[in-house]
Chains A and B, each alone.
Chain A
Amino acid sequence: MRFSSRSKLLATALVLLFALPFGLLVLLAVAPAWRFPAALPPTYSLGALRDLLAADSELLAGLGRSLLLASVVAVVATASGFWLARAVSRAARPARWEALSYLPYALPPVLLAVLIQPFIIRLHLSGSVGGVLLGLLLIAVPFATLLLRSFWTPQAREYEQLARTLGCTPQQALGRVLLPLAGPLLRTALFQTFLLSWFDFGLTNLLSVGKVRTLTVQVFTYVGEANAPLAAVASLLLLLPPALLLWANKNALLRKTE
C-alpha cells in the first residue's frame, strides 16, 4: 500500500511537472492581456491563432521554413551518415575517424558558428538558407555517422557479400538487403537529426544574421517584443513536430525500454 501510494505520488508529480509547460503555453496563447496579479486570464481571444491562419502569416512562413530546413538536414545527414559510416568501417583507422566525428560536439553550436562565420561570409552564404544549412549539417552529419556506425558490423558486410554472391547487383543488395536491415537505425537517425535542426536557435540566429527567420528565431523575436501570445503560439508550433515524431516512434521506444 505504501509502495503503491509512493509510486502514484511520483507519477503524479512528474506528470504535473511535465504537463505544466504545455498548459501555461496554451493559456498564454489565448490570453491577449494577462497581467499581474490575475492567476487566470481575464479574457480569452483566438486573435493570435487567427493571425496564424492569415494568408500573410509570418508564423506560417516560419513554420514552413523550419520544416523544410530540418527535413533537408535530416535527409542529407542520414544519407551521408549511412555511406560515411560504411567508409569509416572500411578505413585503415576507424577509431580515428570516430574521434574526429566528435570534434563538432567539443564546441558549443554558437561557438562553431562564430568560428565558421568568416568562411560563410566569403562563400557569400551569410544571411542565406545555404549558410544555415551548412552550419546545421556540420553538427548533424557527424551525429548520423556516429549513430549509423554501429550498423556496419562485419555481419552486415557479410550479408552484403552473400547477396552479391547470390546474384544481386549492388543496387539490389542495397535496396533489398542493406536498407531493410538498417531501417530502424535510419529512422532513428532521421528523427534525431531532424530534432537537432528543428531545435537549433543559436547557430541559426548567428549565421542567418536575422534573415532566415526559423520558428526558433521567431520565438526569440516575440519574447524580445514582449508579445507573449505570439511567442506562446510559436512555441506550441515548435513542439508539434517533435510530439508527432515521438508518437509515431512510440512503439519502437517502448520496445526498447521493455
Chain B
Amino acid sequence: MLSKRLPTRLLLGLYALLVAGLPLAGLGYALLGSLGIVGPLATGFTARHWQVLGTDAGLLKAALFSLWIAGVSLALAVGLALALVLGAQATLRRRPFPTLLYVPLLMPSLVLGFYLFQLLSRAGWLSRLSFGLRLTRGVEGFPELVQDAAGAGIILAHVLLLFPFLTLLFQAIYQESRLPDYAQLAQTLGASLGQFRWRVALPVLLRRAAPTVLLSFIATLGAYDIPLLLGRPYPQMLSVYIATRLQRFDLRELPAAYLAGFLVAVGLLALILVLTRLTRRHAL
C-alpha cells in the first residue's frame, strides 16, 4: 500500500509544484518586487510604484483596450459561428466543410499577423488592388486598417482565428445534443424554424459552449503576437504592455513591470472567478 501511494503522491506533488507553485511564487515575487523588497535594484520597502498608479493611466488604458478587443472579437466570432451552424447546417455536413474548417487552425497567430499586415496595410495588397481599380488614388487614400486607433486589424485577426474553431465547437455540440431530432420535434409541434433556433438551439449551444467561450475570451484578452504586429505603441494590449515594460533596459522600470504583472494576474484570476460563477449560475 505504501509503495503504491508514494509514487502517486510524489508525482502529484511535483505536478502541483510546477503548475501552481511556480506561477503563484512568481506572483508573490512580483508583489514583493513592486514594493521594492526584492529585485536587482531593491532598496527596501516603498509604496512609490503603487502610488504612481494614480497618475499613470497606461495600465488602465491597456486593460480597457484589451477588454474592447476581446469583447468585440469574441462577439463577432461567436455570432459568425452561430450563423453558420444554425443557418447553414446541412451545408456544414457536406464536403469540404468537415476538413475545410480545420485549415485555419494551422495558422499561428504570428503568421496571421504578418499576413494581415501585408494584406491590409496602406501599402498592402488590397490597397494595390484598390489603386489598380482606380478606387483609391494612392497610399494615403486607403483606410487605416492595421495599426489603427480602434484596433480593427487586431479584431479582424482574432475573428479569423476564433470563428473556425467556434464553428467546429458549436457543430460538435449541435450533433452531440441531438438538436436535429429536437428540430423535427419542434416543427411537428408547430414551431417555426426560427422559433426552434432562438428558443431551443441557441440556448443549448451557448450554455454547453460557455466554458470554452470563456477560455477563448481570456486567451484573446491576453493576446501578444497579433497586437505586437498589428497594434500601435499606444494604447497597447495588456500582454504587450507588460512585456514591453519588462524588456526595457532600465532596471529601475522592473518594479513597475512587476506591479503591472501582479495586478493583471490578480485581475484576470478575479475575472475568471466571476465569469465562471456566472456561467455556472446560468447553466443551472
Contact = CB atoms under 8 A, between A and B. Distances in A.
Interface string B99-135: 1111111111111101101110001010111011000
B111 A239 contact: yes
Given A103-B19, A219-B111, A84 B12 contact: yes
Contacts of A253: 98-99, 102
Contact of A223 (B15, B139, B229): B229
B129 A201 contact: no
B222 A107 contact: yes
Interface string A77-115: 000000110011011000001001101111111111011
A21 B269 CA distance: 35
B100 A18 contact: yes
A101 B110 CA distance: 26
Contacts of B131: 36-37
A212 interface: no
Contacts of B91: 6-7, 10-11
Given A107-B268, A108-B224, A206 B243 contact: yes
Judged by DSSP, the binding face of B is helix
Interface string B1-29: 00000001001100110111011011101
Interface string A18-35: 101100110010000001
A202 B12 contact: no
A199 interface: yes
A62 interface: no
A17 B115 CA distance: 12
Nearest to B100: A14
Given A18-B103, A97-B12, A110 B222 contact: yes
B242 interface: yes
Interface residues of A, number: 72
Interface string B77-105: 00000001000101100101111111111
B98 to A, nearest CB: 4
B11 A83 contact: yes
A151 to B, nearest CB: 16
B144 interface: no
Contact of B242 (A20, A111, A137, A257): A111
Given A10-B91, A141-B19, A202 B239 contact: yes
Contacts of A17: 160
Contacts of A90: 8
Nearest to B126: A39
A201 B19 contact: no
B30 A115 contact: yes
A1 interface: no
Contacts of B253: none
Contacts of A206: 243, 246-247
B30 to A, nearest CB: 6
B29 A199 contact: no
Interface in B198-230: 215, 218-219, 221-225, 228-229
Given A25-B115, A109-B224, A11 B11 contact: no
Contact of B23 (A87, A104, A199, A202): A104
B257 A114 contact: yes
B22 A119 contact: yes
A235 B219 contact: no
Given A87-B8, A100-B19, A110-B222, A238 B125 contact: no
Contacts of B127: 36-37
B214 to A, nearest CB: 10
A145 interface: yes
B77 to A, nearest CB: 14
A180 interface: no
B19 A138 contact: yes
B146 interface: no
Given A24-B119, A38-B128, A138-B19, 6 more contacts: A6-B88, A24-B115, A103-B20, A111-B242, A201-B224, A201-B225
Interface of A: 3, 6-7, 10-11, 14-15, 17-18, 20-21, 24-25, 28, 35-39, 83-84, 87-88, 90-91, 97, 100-101, 103-112, 114-119, 137-138, 141-142, 145, 198-199, 201-202, 206, 216, 219-220, 223, 228, 231-232, 235, 238-239, 242-243, 246, 250, 253-254, 257-258
24 contacts: A10-B84, A24-B115, A24-B125, A37-B128, A84-B11, A88-B12, A97-B15, A105-B219, A106-B218, A107-B222, A108-B218, A111-B222, A111-B268, A112-B23, A114-B243, A116-B26, A117-B26, A118-B29, A198-B108, A201-B224, A216-B108, A228-B118, A254-B98, A257-B98
The 3 closest A-B pairs by CB, nearest first: A108-B222, A115-B26, A202-B224
